[in-house]
Amino acid sequence: MAGPAVAVKDLVKVFGEVRAVDGISLAVDAGEIYGLLGPNGAGKTTTLRILAGLLAPTAGRAVVAGIDVAAAPRAAKLRLGFLTGTTGLYARLTGREVLTYFGRLHGLRGAPLARRVDALCDALALGPLIDRRCEALSSGGKQRISIARAVLHDPQILILDEPTAGLDVLASRFLRDFVRAERARGKAVIFSTHYLAEAELLCDRIGLLYRGRLLREGTPAALRAERSAVSLEEAFLGLVEELEAVAPAAPPSTGGQAR
Amino acid sequence: MKAEHVALVYAKELRETLRDRRTIIVMVLFPLVVYPLLSILAAQVLASKEAKQEARPSRVSIGGPDADTADIRRAIESTPHTLILVPSAAGGRAQVVAGTLDALVEVRPGVRAPDGGAGTASVDIVFDGAREESQRARDRLNDALGQARPVGCEPRFTMADQSVAPRAKMGGYVLSKILPLAVILMVVLGAFYPAIDVTAGERERGTLETILSSPIDRFDLMTGKVLAVATLATLSGVLNLASLSVTLLKGLALTGAGTALTIPWGRALATLIVIVPASFQFASLLVAVGSIARSFKEAQNLLTPVYFLCFMPAMVAALGEYPLAGLPALVPGVNVTLLARDLMLAKLHPGTAAVVLGSTLLYGGLCLALATRLYDSERLLYAADDAGSFGGWLQRLLGRGGGAAPVPASPADDAARAAALFGIGYALLYFVFLPLQKASFARGLLISQWVGLLGMVWLYARLSARRLRDVLRFHMPTARDVAGALLVGLSAWVVLAFLVEWVFPAPQEVVDRLRDMVTPRDGSRSLVINLFLIAVTPAICEEALFRGPILRGLAARFAPATAAVLTGILFGLFHMDLWRLVPTSLLGVLLSWVALASGTIVPAMIVHLMNNGVLVTVSQLGGDDRLSKLSTPAQAALFVAALGVLTAGVLLLRGSRSARNVAEPTREL
């Protein structure tokens, strides 16, 4: 694959009178974990939803695996796995039924699909969870099934929207280990969170988002060094204060908050 | 138990629930509107059916020696309006069964008495118990022949009824009275919760993003959902069909009333061909509406009115006993109910059945296409009300990125208040105004309109702390507005009258009733009084309510075109007349458009005044009769001319709007 696995160029998304994403450009290479960081309403989820083909950009382009998502959403979706903190599982189906359903939507069937499900059961230690109804699983169990669902078709790109939200320490660690393993397999991972410490632990590069704009981009170490900060949080707060001094934020909008 | 805590929780729960306006509308206003509407609909349909059946004379014949039938013949011939005597022929009973004859009077001579006098003859009235016309013929014959038997004297003949309907036909007839409506209702009910589950439920469970980020076309996704809902609806319909058939007929047999009935399983099975496409149609409709909703509760609120909308045509069809031909074969809900009935009665016409099934599948397909467009991640994943509004969504649905924005409105105007005003007005109309008008038309109408409708608007203005003229947008119109309104008012009634006569003709008795209301035959109201009652009064009072807070409230929420259409439909419903629903709604849409286009209510009042005024004048002068007797080319010429005048009026009003800045302060009267 020539060029970056994910490329976003001058991306804009307007909801009513709210510019949720305001001219973001970034690129993520294969074998890289890129963290999108920012407070609620910064534009992280909207950016990821555009990349996942759920929202159409108002302006700009989002390209995954060389495919313009807006122009060919189906082809793009075949090459990416999308995971959110809500897990998005059908409560009345078993884990195996969920995986079979999404596997078939991705074009897998028969013995190859069964083998892939079994392989994921081993890799993610799903064990007996796989044949239980999803409604009966713990948050960690649901998230494991959900990870299996997202990587079932072995996508080149993983888009993870706050995947650790609501997970306990062990489950969060499991997820981070899994993401690192995917990076080692050459996958591009774009990962949003508002836990700065988690991003620092996991990401190769980080993009700091605020009010729909990309404030800074770089490795965690470079971002800290730029602000002479001891932590990413301190660096981020310094940047925000600087920005607020120049252009104070408008009163909280009643307009769009993507969720 | 701590009473204070109970009271606190009670007050909090009530406050929270009552702040959800949609809950209030569905819980309170909806029943206030729906039940009166259903009762009026049922009464009008039944009255129309009764009048039609009464107007049709029964074809009867007599079998037996002439000498013994002379009295009977005379009795029948004395009631030419209700009974037509056709010459007797062989196979009279077969004709009754076939439906070419409504009833047959079979006379058997009595045994001569020993003194040589004529014995008592016996008369059998042979009819088909599975056919309404035949039952009516039996009743009419019983009345006519009963009068031919002198009271207190030895009767010259005895009478007995004899149905020739086979048991299976009777079974089919009984089932046809109840099953079609019940099955259609069960199909809709069977689709109700599954439709919510696959649309709003998907969002509430958090699976929406997962499925929409999968490589599946939205059409495929929605087709799968609709087919799943349709399957469940079909199952519901089939189970109800089987259970109702057995229960009904066995229940009747237990009471002794159904000993002459058998379940026509073949016909009941044939009804399946209606259930499957009907399930698809209703499932598509409910899924499409469910796709708008962003929560389970919102979906319930939206689908409840839709359920009743599905119920109404089925009820009209079941009560009205319309023949399945022409327009009824194309009206959704009506057509499937009538086809189910005809299948029960074994009266299937393959061509008509194909039209019904084809149109039903077509409507289902259109609803599916709509559902596909509505299941829009842009809207469903976006939380804010403004961008996710129905109006904004409708713009996207119509493929317009920008489109007309909702009309700037006072913050006091909103759709919920408009709906509440309509609901209150509708309830008042049904429970207060109509009884008043029944007691005394003129006095009742004046009170209803000036005190009721105008009073409501005045009260609304007071409660929202605004001037009445601000609530009404009562501003001086431009000369161009007035000219446009005059042209529209002069021509709209002609265009609407012809459209209705060609597309949706009302029964003659409805036309006569309306004419009597407008211009009583006894000449008790002069033209001037009539004009004040039927033209001036509604032009001010109805316009004040509908083109005032209702239209403005809806326009604050929806795009202008949507607001005009919704207001027009509410205006049509407010007239509580099934046959006038379409023309009145169309007039309501036009009046709403005029008010929005001109930015003031005055031109709409002028149009309403002109429209009703011309109608009253033409009716009083007997011109409406002459109009309907015109030749087809003359009617077409008149229609085209009126359409031309209407178009000129519309263009004037449209130009007027573009020439004036809507935000510019308008001149007040």
Taking the Cβ of residue B219 and every Cβ of chain A, the question of whether any pair is shorter than 8 Å is answered with no
Domain membership of residue A231 (yes or no) is no
Contact B207 A88 (CB under 8 A): yes
pLDDT of residue B5: 82
Q: Binning pLDDT at 50, 70 and 90, where does residue B524 land?
A: confident
The pLDDT tens digits of the residues spanning B473-493 come to 888 888 999 999 999 999 998
Span A14-23, average pLDDT: 87
Domain membership of residue A101 (yes or no) is yes
Q: Binning pLDDT at 50, 70 and 90, where does residue A249 land?
A: low
A141 contacts: CB under 8 Å, gap ≥ 6? A129, A132
User: What CATH number is given to the structural domain containing B96?
Assistant: 3.40.50
Cα torsion for B638, B640, B644, B649, to the nearest 10°?
A: 60
Same domain as A179, residue A148: no
pLDDT of residue B382: 63
Domain membership of residue B3 (yes or no) is no
Measured between beta carbons, the chain B residues lying within 8 angstroms of A52 are 209, 213
Domain membership of residue B258 (yes or no) is yes
Tell me the residue range of the domain where A126 lies: 89-154
Q: Binning pLDDT at 50, 70 and 90, where does residue B96 land?
A: confident
Last residue of a domain, one of B383, B406, B432: B383
Lowest mean pLDDT among A85-89, B236-240, B252-256, B350-354: B252-256
Same domain as B199, residue B144: no
Q: What is the pTM assigned to this prediction?
A: 0.73
B384 closest CB neighbour out of A16, A102, A105: A16
| Tokens linked to B227 | 């087919």
Domain membership of residue A256 (yes or no) is no
pLDDT at A212 over 80: yes
pLDDT of residue B409: 44
pLDDT of residue B414: 72
Lowest mean pLDDT among A147-161, A179-193, B628-642: B628-642
Measured between beta carbons, the chain A residues lying within 8 angstroms of B377 are 49, 54-55
Domain membership of residue B175 (yes or no) is yes
Q: What was the ipTM of the complex prediction?
A: 0.88
Same domain as A61, residue A176: yes
Domain membership of residue B477 (yes or no) is yes
Same domain as B308, residue B261: yes
CA distance A120 to A125: 8
Measured between beta carbons, the chain B residues lying within 8 angstroms of A107 are 215
Span A206-212, average pLDDT: 90
Same domain as A115, residue A25: no
The rounded mean pLDDT for chain A is 87
Same domain as B612, residue B511: yes
Same domain as B183, residue B200: yes
pLDDT of residue B255: 67
CA distance A218 to A209: 12
Q: How many domains, in total, are found in chain A?
A: 2
Q: Hey, is A90 helix, strand or coil?
A: coil
Beta bridge partners of B393: none
pLDDT of residue A1: 55
Span A89-98, average pLDDT: 92
Q: What is the DSSP letter of A134?
A: G
CA distance B619 to B628: 12
Same domain as B192, residue B127: no
CA distance B599 to B595: 6
Same domain as B507, residue B366: no
- Report yes or no: B557 and B455 within 8 Å, Cβ to Cβ: no
Same domain as B201, residue B156: no
- Report yes or no: A202 and A191 within 8 Å, Cβ to Cβ: yes
CA distance A235 to A221: 10
Contact B383 A256 (CB under 8 A): yes
Same domain as B619, residue B495: yes
Same domain as B185, residue B87: no
CA distance B202 to chain A (A): 9
pLDDT of residue A247: 66
Same domain as A129, residue A7: no
Same domain as B198, residue B317: yes
Task: Give chain B's radius of gyration (CA, Å).
Answer: 30
CA distances to A167, B72, B144 from B95, rounded to whole Å, are 80, 20, 22
User: Which comes out higher in pLDDT, residue B385 or A185?
Assistant: A185
pLDDT at B405 over 70: no
Same domain as A101, residue A169: no
Domain membership of residue A251 (yes or no) is no
Contact A149 B210 (CB under 8 A): yes
Domain membership of residue A15 (yes or no) is yes
The H-assigned helical ranges of B218-333 are 218-255, 265-270, 272-292, 296-320
Size of interface A-B (CB pairs under 8 A): 79
Contact A105 B214 (CB under 8 A): yes
Domain membership of residue A239 (yes or no) is no
Same domain as A75, residue A1: yes
- Return the residue matching tokens 């973001």: A24
Q: Binning pLDDT at 50, 70 and 90, where does residue B389 land?
A: very low
Burial class (CB within 10 angstroms; exposed 0-12, middle 13-18, buried 19+) of A182 = buried
Q: Binning pLDDT at 50, 70 and 90, where does residue A253 land?
A: very low
Same domain as A196, residue A128: no
Same domain as A46, residue A36: yes
Q: How many domains, in total, are found in chain B?
A: 3
Same domain as A23, residue A63: yes
Same domain as A113, residue A7: no
pLDDT of residue B78: 82
The pLDDT tens digits of the residues spanning B283-318 come to 999 999 998 887 888 888 888 888 888 888 888 888
| Tokens linked to A80 | 């990416």
Taking the Cβ of residue B215 and every Cβ of chain A, the question of whether any pair is shorter than 8 Å is answered with yes
CA distance A145 to B49: 62
Domain membership of residue A230 (yes or no) is no
Is the Cα torsion angle B383, B384, B385, B391 positive or negative in sign? negative
Is the Cα torsion angle B627, B633, B639, B645 positive or negative in sign? negative
Domain membership of residue B398 (yes or no) is no
Identify from A19, A50, A78, A105 which residue to disrupt to test chain B contact, counting B C-beta atoms within 10 A and taking the largest count.
A105
Same domain as B236, residue B103: no
pLDDT of residue A154: 92
CA distance B372 to chain A (A): 15
Same domain as A70, residue A188: yes
Same domain as B645, residue B527: yes
Last residue of a domain, one of B383, B399, B427: B383
Domain membership of residue A221 (yes or no) is no
User: What CATH number is given to the structural domain containing A207?
Assistant: 3.40.50.300
The pLDDT tens digits of the residues spanning B630-658 come to 777 888 888 899 999 999 999 988 876 54
Domain membership of residue B388 (yes or no) is no
CA distances to A79, A120, A227, B505 from A112, rounded to whole Å, are 18, 12, 51, 64
The pLDDT tens digits of the residues spanning B245-283 come to 778 777 777 766 655 567 777 877 888 889 999 999 999
Tell me the residue range of the domain where B317 lies: 169-383
Burial class (CB within 10 angstroms; exposed 0-12, middle 13-18, buried 19+) of B487 = buried
Lowest mean pLDDT among B58-72, B99-113, B376-390, B449-463: B376-390
Q: From A90, which residue of chain B is nearest by alpha-carbon distance?
A: B207
Q: What is the DSSP letter of B577?
A: -
DSSP one-letter string for B119-139: --EEEEEEE-TT-HHHHHHHH
CA distance B221 to chain A (A): 10
Contact A55 B381 (CB under 8 A): yes
Domain membership of residue B48 (yes or no) is no
User: Which comes out higher in pLDDT, residue B145 or B553?
Assistant: B553
pLDDT of residue B571: 94
Comparing CA positions, the residue from B625, B578, B73 lying closest to residue B317 is: B578
